[in-house]
Structure 1
Amino acid sequence: MNIETSEIKDLVILTPDVFEDERGFFFESFNKSKLSDLGINLSFIQDNQSFSKQGVLRGLHYQNPPFAQTKLVRVLHGEILDVAVDLRKDSPTFGKSFSIYLTAGNRKQLLIPQGFAHGFSVISDSAIVMYKCDNCYDRESEGGIRFDDKTLNIDWGINLNEAIISGKDLVLPSFENCNSKF
């Protein structure tokens, strides 16, 4: 497994070693021991999976402590633009966003630590996204930021006038007014 750092501390990209032959391919999508060797020591306790159509935009979501979540995000089918926003008030990159194309073909994974908001837009006809979490979902701890926040100015890679967005995500507060406890 290869690890790449991003311009935001603790936000990393993981690319597995892929073994291909005439039958197809094989790779380890998760290996706790190998991640530990890379300095990443996590205990994931919940897996989530979503199916979305082209033009769907999900996010930006987070959970406040004590139910904050680290996520390891990957795409099983299709292509997304994955976005993370640093909510850690003491971080030099507070309020900065990072985006990366995650695809079934590139097999990259984004490790998003606690203290970040997360969202994605679907670029392909459809996408299946899976992510591991180190904490369980807790409704009382959830928070979010509106996808089109002017301060964050995120380019989602899709036409926002045609985006498919849940009613819940349409009423999320601005970055300035979010209830982040990080």
Structure 2
Amino acid sequence: MKTTLILSASMIAAALALPANAQDDSLYPDPSAPDASFLRVILPDGATATVDGTAVEAPEAGVTAYAEVSPGEVEIAVDDTTQTVEVGANTHYTWTAAAAEPALVTDMVEDSPAQADLLMYNLSEADPVTLYAVEGETAALEGVETGTHDGVGLKAPLTLTFEIRQDGETLTSLDPVDLRRGAATTIVVTGPADAPEAAATDRVYQ
């Protein structure tokens, strides 16, 4: 279940706020149909993808832009492999093509104008991992198992430094991440159990 993480006063004081005019860049777009959903793909290095025949780019962290889709069957092609999935209405989805066992994930997206959505996908062999917010000295997401994802709503705007931890040990860290109201940030963890890598990207739409 998705929760809202309330940040401590010291954490907020340490965070760097973005300019007010930068807050609405990634707000949920107006769909072309009232029941439309959105689907994206997390790609392996060097792979390309189409969603219902539309090419989707993956500019950062191997995460493509969301493509608008209609409820029902949707065809996803990654290089020479094609998969048909069933999607519902008014939902965000991610196809984890970079995982050892690709799956269709229902994203924990709230699109609250007062919060930033933070999602993490653990596609690494490290099992499980915790997303730790350094400035707040607290876990933002805990116990995210291999092949799964989790999400949390954060009060925004602020800038946080995140570490990927396991049993209290830091496995890798990310550059400071800007969190904006009404926007979403995705963190993808990949690689071997003893040396995973993590990358962050903002949510974008096709």
Shorter chain as normaliser: what TM range? under 0.3
TM-score by length of 1: 0.28
Higher percent of residues as strand: 2
Task: Give 1 or 2: higher helix fraction.
Answer: 1
Q: Which has the higher contact order (CA 8 A, sep 6+)?
A: 1
